[in-house]
Amino acid sequence: MNIAHLVSARRNPKGWHWTDIAAYAYLLLGVVLMFGPVLWLVLSSFKTQASLLEFPPSLLPLSQKEVVVTGYPQPLPLFTVTMEDGTKRELAQVRRIGIQAQMIDPANPSQQFRVPIDKRTPVRQFSLATENYSEPLQRFAFPRFLANSVFVTVVATLITLLINSMAAYALSIYEFKGKNAAMLMVIGTLMIPITIILVPVYLVVTKLGLVNSLWAVILPGAATPTGVFLLRQYMLTLPRDLIEAARMDKASEWQIYWRIVMPLTLPALAVLTIFSIMWRWNEFLWPLAVLTKTESYTLQIGLNAFQGELQTQWQYLLAMTVMTLTPVALVFVFLQRFITTGIANTGMK
Amino acid sequence: MTLTSKTSPATSPAPAASLAPSGGTNPVLKLVTRVLDWPMAGLQRLIGERRMPYVFLLPNLVFFGLFVFVPIAINFVYSVTGGPALFPSERPYVGAGQYSYLFDCGSYVDPNTCREDHFWRGVYNTLFFSFFQVVAMVGLSLLTAVVLNMKIRGRGFFRAVYFFPVLLSPVVVALIWKWILQRDGLLNAAIMGLGGDRTLFLAEPGWAMFWVIFVSVWAHMGFYTLILLAGLQAIPTDIYEAAEMDATPRWRVFWRLTLPLLWPNLIVVIVLSLIRAVQTFDEVFVLTGGGPGTSTLMVVQYIYETAFSNQVQNFGLAAAASVVLGIVLFALTLAQLAFTQRKSS
Distance between CA atoms of B170 and B22, rounded to whole angstroms? 37
Minimal C-alpha gap between A144 and chain B (Å): 18
Among residues of chain B, what percentage have pLDDT more than 90?
25
Interface test with A, best of B49, B81, B175, B334 (most A CBs within 10 A): B175
Task: Please tell me the predicted confidence (pLDDT) of residue B6.
Answer: 39
Interface test with B, best of A183, A199, A341 (most B CBs within 10 A): A199
Interface contact flag, B166 A349, Cβ < 8 Å? yes
Report chain B residues whose CB lies below 8 A from the CB of A304: 171, 286
Closest CA to A74 of A93, A102, A89: A93
Considering CB atoms only, which of B33, B41, B164 is closest to A34? B164
Cα-based distances in Å from A11 to A7, A17, A19, A114: 6, 8, 12, 72
Burial degree of A41 (CB within 10 A; 0-12, 13-18, 19+): buried
Q: What is the pLDDT of residues A273-322, one digit of tens each?
A: 888 988 899 999 899 989 988 889 999 998 888 887 766 688 888 888 99
Task: Please tell me the predicted confidence (pLDDT) of residue A29.
Answer: 93
Asked if omega into B27 is within 30° of 0 (cis), the reply is no
**Residue pair B278/B328 in contact by the 8 Å Cβ criterion:** yes
Interface contact flag, A246 B177, Cβ < 8 Å? no
Asked if omega into B9 is within 30° of 0 (cis), the reply is no
Interface contact flag, B149 A233, Cβ < 8 Å? no
Report chain B residues whose CB lies below 8 A from the CB of A233: 2-3, 5
Q: Where are the domains of chain B?
A: 36-80, 111-342
Task: Please tell me the predicted confidence (pLDDT) of residue B142.
Answer: 95
**Residue pair A258/B33 in contact by the 8 Å Cβ criterion:** yes
DSSP B230-276: HHHHHS-HHHHHHHHHTT--HHHHIIIIIHHHHHHHHHHHHHHHHHH
Considering CB atoms only, which of A167, A249, A260 is closest to B57? A167
| Least confident span in A89-103, B108-122, B150-164 | A89-103
**Residue pair A4/B133 in contact by the 8 Å Cβ criterion:** no
Q: What is the pLDDT of residues B79-93, one digit of tens each?
A: 898 888 888 888 888
Classify domain B111-342 by CATH number. Answer: 1.10.3720.10
Interface contact flag, A57 B186, Cβ < 8 Å? yes
Interface contact flag, B2 A179, Cβ < 8 Å? no
Confidence of residue B11 (pLDDT cuts 50, 70, 90): very low
What mean pLDDT do residues B16-37 have?
66
Residue A294 phi/psi, 5-degree rounding, is -55, -35
Closest CA to B315 of A206, A200, A284, A196: A200
Interface contact flag, A324 B172, Cβ < 8 Å? yes
Task: Please tell me the predicted confidence (pLDDT) of residue B4.
Answer: 40
Q: What is the pLDDT of residues A222-280, one digit of tens each?
A: 888 888 988 998 898 888 888 888 888 888 888 889 888 999 998 889 888 888 988 89
Task: Using alpha carbons only, give the angle A302, A304, A306 rounded to the nearest 5 degrees.
Answer: 70
Interface contact flag, B189 A329, Cβ < 8 Å? no
Minimal C-alpha gap between B298 and chain A (Å): 12
- The answer, for B239 touching chain A at a CB cutoff of 8 Å, is no
Residue in chain A lying closest to B254 (CA): A3
Residue B302 phi/psi, 5-degree rounding, is -60, -45
Report chain A residues whose CB lies below 8 A from the CB of B258: 3
Q: Residue A319 corresponds to which amino acid?
A: A
**Residue pair B265/B146 in contact by the 8 Å Cβ criterion:** no
Report chain B residues whose CB lies below 8 A from the CB of A185: 61, 64, 69
Taking the CA atoms of A102, A105, A111 and A113 in sequence, report the sign of the dihedral they define: negative
Domains of chain A: 17-62 (no CATH), 66-122 (2.30.30), 132-347 (1.10.3720.10)
Report chain B residues whose CB lies below 8 A from the CB of A26: 143-144, 147
Residue stretches of chain A with pLDDT short of 50: 1, 6-12, 348-349
Taking the CA atoms of B22, B27, B30 and B35 in sequence, report the sign of the dihedral they define: negative
| Least confident span in A187-196, B244-253, B282-291 | A187-196
Task: Please tell me the predicted confidence (pLDDT) of residue B3.
Answer: 38
Interface contact flag, A38 B303, Cβ < 8 Å? no
Task: Please tell me the predicted confidence (pLDDT) of residue B132.
Answer: 96
Interface contact flag, B308 A162, Cβ < 8 Å? no
Closest CA to A26 of B226, B230, B166, B147: B147
Task: Please tell me the predicted confidence (pLDDT) of residue B344.
Answer: 56
Three-class SS of residue B81? Answer: strand
Q: How many CB atoms lie within 10 A of CB A162?
A: 14
Closest CA to B277 of B292, B307, B298: B298
> Is pLDDT at B144 greater than 90 in this prediction?
yes
Confidence of residue B16 (pLDDT cuts 50, 70, 90): very low
SS (H, E, C) chain A: CCHHHHHHHHHCCCCCCHHHHHHHHHHHHHHHHHHHHHHHHHHHCCCCHHHHCCCCCCCCCEEECEECCCCCCCCEEEEEEECCCCCEEEEEEEEEECCEEEEEECCEEEEEEEEEHHHEEECEEECCCCHHHHHHHHHCCHHHHHHHHHHHHHHHHHHHHHHHHHHHHHHHHCCCCCHHHHHHHHHHHHCCCHHHHHHHHHHHHHHCCCCCCCHHHHCCCCCCHHHHHHHHHHHCCCCHHHHHHHHHCCCCHHHHHHHHHHHHCHHHHHHHHHHHHHHHHHCCHHHHHHCCCHHHCCHHHHHHHHHHHCCCCHHHHHHHHHHHHHHHHHHHHHHHHHHHHHHHHHCCC
Report chain B residues whose CB lies below 8 A from the CB of A162: 59
Minimal C-alpha gap between B97 and chain A (Å): 18
Cα-based distances in Å from A82 to A117, A118, A134: 10, 9, 38
Task: Please tell me the predicted confidence (pLDDT) of residue A171.
Answer: 92
Interface contact flag, A200 B72, Cβ < 8 Å? yes
Task: Please tell me the predicted confidence (pLDDT) of residue A347.
Answer: 52
**DSSP label of B94:** -
Task: Please tell me the predicted confidence (pLDDT) of residue A119.
Answer: 76
Q: Annotate B31-53 with b (16+ C-beta within 10 A) or e (fewer).
A: eebeeebeebbebbeeeeeeebb
